[in-house]
Amino acid sequence: MAWDFSTDPAFQQKLDWVETFCKEKVEPLDYVFPYAVRSPDPVVKAYVRELQQEVKDEGLWAIFLDEELGGPGFGQLKLGLLNEVIGRYGSAPQMFGAAAPDTGNMEMLAAYGTEEQKKRWLEPLLNQEMFSAYSMTEPQGGSDPNLFRTHAMRDGEEWVINGEKWFTSAGRVADILFVMCTNGMFVVPRETPGVEIMPEPRNHNHIKYKDVRVPLDHLLGPEDGAKVLAQRRLGGGRIHHAMRTIAQCKLAFDMMCERALSRQSHGQIIGEHQMVQEKIADSYAAIRMLRLFVLETAWKIDNTSTAEARTDIAAVKFTMAKVLREVSFNALHILGSLGTTDLTPIQAMYAAAPTMGIADGVDEVHKATVARRVLKEYRPHEGHWPTEYIPAKREEAWKKMQPVLDANPELKQSAENYKKYLARRR
């Protein structure tokens, strides 16, 4: 496929519709009815369903699922462009049936679930009749599966799960938990006896599993297949997350530029001060570079596979955290004291940046992954000197050029003269 940095007109119309829909309907709803999607009020819930039906009528519901899994099958590139729009608005992902952690869990169910499992859990998740959480990381092992201890033991017609999980986002309000064990991925209803959710932290929950019993058919995918399922879940999800991060960065950038033209200091607008200009220029370049990197990675996935693009996916993950941290920091400083308050989105963005570098695996782990995979493409040089050691390169060049020089005496004389000139300089 040839390089192309444009969006086809038909899909651009979809993006334009999404932008208008979010600006005119989703954003106002966020301010009037925060958390409207999970509201118990039947009137609010009915209005949310109306908006979601508009999304479905446009063919944009559950946009993250491939066509063979029951979704629109846009592919990662188009999906990334969509997430760049909806990532600017708080509840937009839920309005499009594409909010984490349900997205990844639904993708695992769609790809690896039995027909009965899909009927029992996937359909209600797609219809937002239930919600889920992903229970993966552990207190002692972080996000490294090789250090996990949570295990399921078979006992007759049941699995018995014992272990401890940490940072299970939205676990407290989930109907079902996808629990990653050392020997498989299990679906556990939150109210199952033995599931103990600790009081703190409130949003990213600490959960203890003590002799938790679930039927045999609650194993998702093959036994000992948890790592494969996790990679399926996290690979494409990081692209969606990165594009939503870019949306947040662009929002912060818009705010800093507006502020730079609106405030004065020492007789001129602050946008004319070089330190403010530097922050704007650095932020602009960082956002543009990240955006192109993410879209290229999405393009690679579409044309190869998630596994083939694993190096770039890992690099995207730690780069997006860095860019969010830098851009939100610059925006906060340009907004001044206002930027430190909760009266604009900036403070929340800046506070979220460290979490971004930890969630879905700490940045250091992803950097190590990138380095190891990149180094596999290289070989050590022979002897003391690197491949680009100039004296050796020059000697090799003379050997390669010798037939040409022997056939052209004048050219050979020029080469000899230049060789003497270089020797004198040394």
Q: What is the 3-class SS of the chain, one letter each residue?
A: CCCCCCCCHHHHHHHHHHHHHHHHHHHHHHHHCCCHHHCCCHHHHHHHHHHHHHHHHCCCCCCCCCHHHCCCCCCHHHHHHHHHHHCCCCCHHHHCCCCCCHHHHHHHHHHHCCHHHHHHHHHHHHCCCCCEEEECCECCCECCHHHCCCEEEEECCEEEEEEEEEEEECHHHCCEEEEEECCEEEEEECCCCCEEECCCCCCEEEEEEEEEEEEHHHEECCCCCHHHHHHHHHHHHHHHHHHHHHHHHHHHHHHHHHHHCCCEECCEEHHHCHHHHHHHHHHHHHHHHHHHHHHHHHHHHHHCCCCCCHHHHHHHHHHHHHHHHHHHHHHHHHHHHHHHCCCCCHHHHHHHHHHHCCCCCCHHHHHHHHHHHHHCCCCCCCCCCCCCCHHHHHHHHHHHHHHHHHHCHHHHHHHHHHHHHHHHHC
Report the CATH number of the 9-113 domain: 1.10.540.10
Phi first, then psi, for residue 101 (nearest 5°) are: -85, 0
Strands 176-181 and 132-135: parallel
Q: What pLDDT was estimated at residue 235? A: 64
Report the CATH number of the 132-220 domain: 2.40.110.10
pLDDT band at 385 (very low <50, low <70, confident <90, very high): very high
In angstroms, the Cα distances linking 167 to 35, 142, 230, 407, 422 are: 21, 9, 16, 73, 64
Q: What pLDDT was estimated at residue 210? A: 98
Amino acid found at 257 = C
| Average pLDDT value for residue range 209-226 | 97
Which residues are CB-contacts of 75 (< 8 A; sequence separation ≥ 6)? 298, 301, 302
> For a pLDDT cut of 90, what percent of the chain falls above it?
83
Kindly compute the dihedral angle of the four CA atoms of residues 90, 345, 82, 283, in this order, to the nearest 10 degrees.
Answer: -170
**Could you give the CA distance from residue 107 to residue 232 in angstroms, rounded to a whole number?**
8
**Could you give the CA distance from residue 223 to residue 215 in angstroms, rounded to a whole number?**
14
| Average pLDDT value for residue range 319-326 | 96
Q: What pLDDT was estimated at residue 358? A: 86
Q: What pLDDT was estimated at residue 4? A: 82
**Could you give the CA distance from residue 221 to residue 304 in angstroms, rounded to a whole number?**
23
**Could you give the CA distance from residue 362 to residue 373 in angstroms, rounded to a whole number?**
17
Give pLDDT tens digits for 275-315. Answer: 999 999 999 999 999 999 999 999 999 999 888 999 999 99
Q: Is the peptide bond before 201 cis (omega within 30 degrees of 0)?
A: yes
For the record, the structure tokens of 284 come out as 């602009």
Which residues are CB-contacts of 254 (< 8 A; sequence separation ≥ 6)? none
Token pair 């929340």: residue:
348
For residue 1, pLDDT over 60 is answered with no
Domains of the chain, residue spans? 9-113, 132-220, 234-375, 390-425
**Could you give the CA distance from residue 120 to residue 413 in angstroms, rounded to a whole number?**
84
- 19 torsion bin: left (phi>0), alpha (psi -120 to 50), beta (else): alpha
Q: What is the 3-state secondary structure (H, E, C) of 272-295?
A: HCHHHHHHHHHHHHHHHHHHHHHH
| Average pLDDT value for residue range 143-165 | 95
Could you tell me if 252 and 349 are in contact, meaning their C-beta atoms sit under 8 angstroms apart? yes
Q: What pLDDT was estimated at residue 212? A: 98
Q: What pLDDT was estimated at residue 143? A: 83
| Average pLDDT value for residue range 259-276 | 95
Supply the pTM of this predicted model: 0.88
For residue 71, pLDDT over 70 is answered with yes
Q: What pLDDT was estimated at residue 238? A: 82
Which residues are CB-contacts of 284 (< 8 A; sequence separation ≥ 6)? 253
Q: How many CB atoms lie within 10 A of CB 88?
A: 21
Token pair 């879940």: residue:
233
Give pLDDT tens digits for 392-404. Answer: 999 999 999 999 9
CATH superfamily, region 234-375: Butyryl-CoA Dehydrogenase, subunit A, domain 3 (1.20.140.10)
pLDDT band at 236 (very low <50, low <70, confident <90, very high): low
